[in-house]
Amino acid sequence: MLAYPRVDLSLDRLRRGGWAMGDLCVERPEGRVWIVTGQRRKHWIIAQAPSQAAAWWLAWEQAAKLARPKRSAAPRTPR
């Protein structure tokens, strides 16, 4: 089993980044699933995993990807 950071650590990182977050646990015939959702300005993230810690970590990874600056296709040259 993979080790994920504690839920409170992932939640703290997300909150410091300005994310409004929540989670829920759903019991399904194939097992329990944790779903984490978050919103920051116009962006939404949704992550799901079999453990609460894994779902929060996946949500943090999604938020981190959105925070990275986008690369432009070609470098700009000054005129």
Give first-to-last CA distance, the chain, whole Å.
55
Residue 68 confidence (pLDDT): 79
pLDDT of residue 78: 66
The mean per-residue pLDDT over the stretch 63-70 comes to 86
What residue segments make up the domains of the chain, in order of their start?
7-66
Instruction: Report how far residue 16's alpha carbon sits from residue 37's, in angstroms, rounded to the nearest whole number.
Output: 16
CATH class of the 7-66 domain in this structure = alpha beta
DSSP characters over the chain: ------HHHHHHHHHHTT-EEEEEEEEETTEEEEEEEEEETTEEEEEEESSHHHHHHHHHHHHHHHHSPPPPSS-----
Q: Is the pLDDT of residue 1 over 60?
A: no
Residues 2-42 have pLDDT tens digits of: 689 999 999 999 999 999 999 999 999 999 999 999 999 99
Please tell me the distance from the alpha carbon of residue 7 to that of residue 16, in angstroms, as a whole number: 14
